Each structure stands twice: as C-alpha cells, then as structure tokens.
Amino acid sequence: MKVPQFDIARQYRSMKAEIGDAVNEVLESGQYVLGKWVKDIEQSVAQATGARHGIGVASGTDALALALIACDVKPGDEVITSPFSFVSVAEVAIRMGAKPVFVDIDRKTFNIDPGDLEKKITDKTTAIIPVHLYGQSVDMDAVMKLAEGKGIAVIEDAAQAIGARYKDKPVCSIGTMSCLSFYPTKNLGCFGDGGMVLTNDDSLAERAESLRRHGQAEKYKYRFVGLNSRLDSLQAAILLAKFGKLEKWTEARRRIASRYDELLKSTPVETPYVSDFAYHVYHQYTILTDARDDLRAFLAEKGVGTATHYPIGLHRQEAYADLGYKEGDLPNCDWAAERVISLPMFPELEEAEVDHVGTAIQEFFKNG
Ligand SMILES: *Cc1c(COP(=O)(O)O)cnc(C)c1O
C-alpha cells in the first residue's frame, strides 16, 4: 500500500463540481483581483477567528511582511521568533533591515519557550512572532505578558494553525496582528499562493489594507510606501468553496491523530504532546525518535511518505550565518531537528492507510 505524506488532489476530487462552479463564476465576472470574493473570504475567516479585520494578501510570507511594516518595525530593530519553523519570518525581518533573534523551543511542544523568550527581550525588541507550530497554539498568555507595556507588537504566525484555539480563544484573535497562509499544503489551502493578515486594531487594519495596494489611500495617491500583495479573486473563490468544510476537515485530522496515538502507544516513539490550553488542529502529526533516519527509510520501503519539519534550525542555515549563532546556542532546536518525523496527515486519509502506517512503525521497532 502506498500512503503519501500529503495529497491535495484527493480533496479537489471530492469537490470538483463546487470548485469548477466557483472558478467559472470568477472567470465570467471579469473581476480577477481583490473584489467581492476576497471581501467574503476576509469576512468569513475574520469571523471564524474572532479577529475584527481580515486582509487578503498574496502569501503567508507577505502577510508577515505587511504585519511588520504595519507595526512600524524599523532597521536595527530586533524581531524575536522561533528557529524551528519555516523560513519566512527570518527572511522578511532581514529584508526590512531588522534583526531576527531566535528563542529556543520547548522539547515537548516544539513551540517557543517563554523562559528563554524573557531572556532574549532587549530595548531593541519591537516585535515577537510566535509560531503555532504543527497546528498547536503557543502559550499566548506568557507571550502577551512579556510584551505588555514595552511597546512590543506580538504577531501570531498562524500559517499552520487555522482553527486552533488557545484556551477558549481562536488563534489570530490574541496578538496585535496575525498571519495566515493558504498555500496548498496548509489546513485551508488554495490552488496557488495566498495569505491573510488579521487584527482587532482598526488603524493597523487600515494600514495593512492600504499597504497591500502600494500604500494607496485613493487611486494614485500614496500614503505609505507599500507593495503589491493582493489576493486574487480565483484563489478567494476557491477558499470560499472550501471554507465551510474546514471544521469537518479539522475533526478528521484530529481523529487521524488519535488513531495514530493509539497505534503508536506500544512503540518507543514520542507522540505529539498536547498542552492543556491547546485545541490542536494537526497541520502535521510529528513524532520524535532517536532512530529517525532508519525509521524514515523503513517507512519509505513500506510505501509510506514522511517529511522532516524541520531538518536544520534557521540559526544554522548558511543564509543566516551572519547572525552569528553557534552550535549549542539553541540546543532544544538542534535536538528536535535530529529526531522529528511528520507522518502522513491530511483529512482524506483513509483508516486503512493510517493503520498501515501505524503497523509499519510497530514492525520497525519489533524487528529493530
Ligand atoms: C507556510 C508557512 C509560512 C509561509 O507561507 P507562504 O504562504 O508559503 O508564504 C510562514 N510561516 C509558517 C510557519 C508556515 O508554515
């Protein structure tokens, strides 16, 4: 049996007619950028996440860039974030002349460790970007408390966590601003690039909305130095067609996760730890094992696709060598990078496939 780590085409095939209708409607309308579909998805996502405003943009990476610009992060400022994540935050901070400062992670949740965060805050810190990794919320009370009263913006990177909750609050409703990605692999994915900035702050929303259109207030009048980062109507219409199913898909991910938990109980792998405060949406189901590379190879032989999120911390990447981190500076990040494997995870996975993956892992440890 072949079980892919991810397969978005299954989702498309399950709703081909609806997607086709949505796409045709946009094509017939003659309106291809921003417009009513974008407004509708902005409203739907904002409402579901409890944020007052949603601003559709061209990608999750752009959402982070726009949030940093809107929050007035300037050259020389320090932006604190996780080294155990996708590269976007580090990249956009540096593009703005700011300096990314990496906080070590917690070994159980893989999210930033508030204790280390406290040590990394200086008088140059103007933003903290917690990443809700794999679909599980960061300890947001701890982060908000550390930022409070210091003029530090908290920007939630919720690219992997749409629908997740911290205590009773949805992610994206807590920080100063929040960012989502609709890249096809995300829990709500479009058929290209897309993203969204969310905020409860009216004036930040107005800035972000203007910034995505070159900083225009009205046509050809520029209030801010902006960029071109608009969500297009086709992606918005596709997202709208999918949005109503997101909750069901999240439930399916959670069911698959608890089946994996059950199947792996008898093995030495560490299954995902879920914090008391978290409603986990399992963007990834990521396990820990000392035998990572051998297990990956064994699973590949059994037809099971896996992935490593992430094999090298951002502080150890060639592109970020100038930041001056050395081996041992962020030991928990390095430790996790050597031990994580993400198993197949998407809502359309069938029970027999999940069982095949679980049984293969049991077999590996029995024989090993
Ligand atoms: C995917 C992702 C991004 C970037 O989103 P894009 O839409 O691909 O630009 C940023 N942060 C995290 C944590 C992500 O997973």
Q: What's the CA gap between 272 and 138, in Å, rounded?
A: 14
Q: Is ligand 1 within 6 A of the CB of residue 193? A: yes
Give the model's pLDDT for residue 327.
83
Beta bridge partners of 216: 222
Tell me the pTM.
Answer: 0.98
Residues constituting the chain: 368
C-alpha 191 – ligand 1 centre gap (Å): 15
**What would the two tokens of residue 335 be?**
């430790």
Contact, 336 vs 107, CB < 8 A? yes
Complete DSSP assignment for 97-111: T-EEEE-PBPTTT-S
List domains and CATH numbers for the chain: 8-243 (3.40.640.10), 246-367 (3.90.1150.10)
pLDDT digits (tens, 9 = 90+) for 286-327: 999 999 999 999 999 999 999 999 999 999 999 999 999 988
In the predicted model, residues of the chain with pLDDT beneath 50 are none
Considering just the CA atoms, what is the radius of gyration of the chain in Å? 21
Q: What's the CA gap between 224 and 209, in Å, rounded?
A: 11
C-alpha 258 – ligand 1 centre gap (Å): 26
C-alpha 346 – ligand 1 centre gap (Å): 17
The single-letter code of the amino acid at 200 is: N
Which has the closest alpha carbon to 66: 224, 222, 275, 252? Answer: 224
Q: What's the CA gap between 200 and 175, in Å, rounded?
A: 9
Q: What's the CA gap between 103 and 119, in Å, rounded?
A: 9
Q: Is ligand 1 within 6 A of the CB of residue 160? A: yes
Contacts of 318 (CB under 8 A, 6+ apart): none
Say which DSSP state 159 is in: T
For ligand 1, atom 5, the nearest C-alpha belongs to: 60
Q: Is ligand 1 within 6 A of the CB of residue 183? A: yes
Atom of ligand 1 nearest to the CA of 132: 13
Give the model's pLDDT for residue 11.
96
C-alpha 159 – ligand 1 centre gap (Å): 5
| CB-based contacts of 300-303 (< 8 A; 24+ apart in sequence) | 302/356, 302/360, 303/1, 303/2, 303/3, 303/356
pLDDT digits (tens, 9 = 90+) for 229-238: 999 999 999 9
For ligand 1, atom 7, the nearest C-alpha belongs to: 60
Q: What's the CA gap between 145 and 149, in Å, rounded?
A: 9
Which has the closest alpha carbon to 126: 186, 47, 48, 72? Answer: 72
Which of 132, 136, 181, 235 for a ligand 1 pocket mutation test, highest count of atoms within 8 Å of Cβ? 181
- Give the dihedral sign, CA 313/316/321/326: positive
- In Å, what is the CA distance from 327 to each residue of 88, 207, 314, 335, 339? 22, 40, 12, 11, 17
